[in-house]
Amino acid sequence: MVSISCVVAVAVNADGRREVLGCDFVTTEDGAGWTSFLRGLVARGLAGVRLVTSDAHSGLVDAMASCLPGAVWQRCRTHFARNLLCRVPRASQDLVAMALRSIFAQPHARSVYRQHAMVVDQLHAHFPEAAEMLDGAKADILAFAAFPRAHWLKIWSNSPLERLNREIRRRTDVVGIFPNRQAIVRLVGAVLAEQDDEWQVARRYMSLERLAEARTEVIEGDVPDTEEEVRELVPAAV
């Protein structure tokens, strides 16, 4: 018996509807596996990707950079929060989680970066390891801020994909052990095809107007350009 991982890609197409791009089954989720998966999607016609939201899987970011030039990586805020709280004593986790959520509760991009800098400064006093992690992940967890505010809730985490993954696990756990690759492809493929069909007749996930905004460049001055500019914004919020 061999343990394998099922990797799935879901996107929002030009019509504003969610779509299952494809899936694959790999023995290890390393760079080679992700690169092969993404190259397969590109070979089938995937183009125009602006943002990729995922957990910090090993090798995925490098594979994305080589296969999807021009795309920005958004690290899932939910997974990042779990990793960050592991560096904080249990008694203080609720407080740190609240501070982290305040970053994502801001009304516009500049205040997001300002709040991030403030939270990093606050954590340095008592939780330097967590502060260092939060500061180092700034570009990854704040990539969403370069897109229209209306999309933030839908692009700063991969929770919709996680729900689909749970349904795949529920179906595959019933079987447990598959006799061959074709058997698991048939089962998982049927689950994904069913979900894709539902998405095509459901309400648009993103409006066409907001998608048009997302295709434009970031408004100059909306996102701070330098670390110094971010730090200059911090006193204004005190």
| Residue 228: pLDDT over 60 | no
Find residue 26's DSSP bridge partners.
Answer: 5
Q: What is the pLDDT of residue 56?
A: 87
| Residue 221: pLDDT over 50 | no
What number is the average pLDDT over the span 102-113? 95
| Residue 60: pLDDT over 80 | yes
Rounded CA gap, 19 and 164, in Å?
12
| Strand, coil or helix: 237 | helix
Task: Give me Rg for the CA atoms of the chain.
Answer: 20
Residue 112 lies in a domain: yes
Number of domains the chain is built from: 2
Cα dihedral sign, 118-224-137-19 = positive
Q: What is the pLDDT of residue 208?
A: 85
Residue 148 lies in a domain: no
What number is the average pLDDT over the span 83-94? 94
Find residue 11's DSSP bridge partners.
Answer: 19
* Pair (81, 71) in one structural domain: no
Q: Are 38 and 7 in contact (CB under 8 A)?
A: no
Q: In this predicted model, what pLDDT tens digit does every residue of 131-185 receive, in sequence order?
A: 999 999 999 999 999 998 989 999 999 988 888 999 999 999 999 899 999 999 9
Rounded CA gap, 52 and 79, in Å?
15
Q: Are 25 and 6 in contact (CB under 8 A)?
A: yes
Q: Are 124 and 136 in contact (CB under 8 A)?
A: no
Rounded CA gap, 109 and 1, in Å?
49
- Interacting residues of 219 by C-beta distance below 8 A, sequence separation 6+: none
Q: What is the pLDDT of residue 230?
A: 45
Note the maximum CA span of the chain.
63
* Pair (26, 130) in one structural domain: no
Q: What is the pLDDT of residue 190?
A: 96
Q: In this predicted model, what pLDDT tens digit does every residue of 17-49 receive, in sequence order?
A: 999 999 999 886 667 888 999 999 999 999 989
More confident residue, 56 or 238: 56
More confident residue, 89 or 2: 89
* Pair (163, 55) in one structural domain: yes
Does the pTM of the predicted model rise above 0.95?
A: no
Please give the backbone phi and psi of residue 127, each rounded to the nearest 5 degrees, phi first: -130, 70
Q: What is the pLDDT of residue 220?
A: 40
Side chain identity at 122, as an amino acid letter? Q
| Helical ranges in the chain per DSSP H | 31-43, 60-67, 77-85, 93-104, 109-126, 128-136, 138-141, 152-155, 159-175, 181-201, 208-215, 227-233
| Residue 234: pLDDT over 60 | no
* Pair (48, 93) in one structural domain: no
Instruction: State the average pLDDT for the chain.
Output: 87
Residue 14 lies in a domain: yes
* Pair (72, 83) in one structural domain: no
* Pair (68, 181) in one structural domain: yes
Residue 110 lies in a domain: yes
- Interacting residues of 214 by C-beta distance below 8 A, sequence separation 6+: 50, 147, 148, 151, 206
User: Which residues span the domain enclosing 21?
Assistant: 1-76+158-206
* Pair (11, 63) in one structural domain: yes
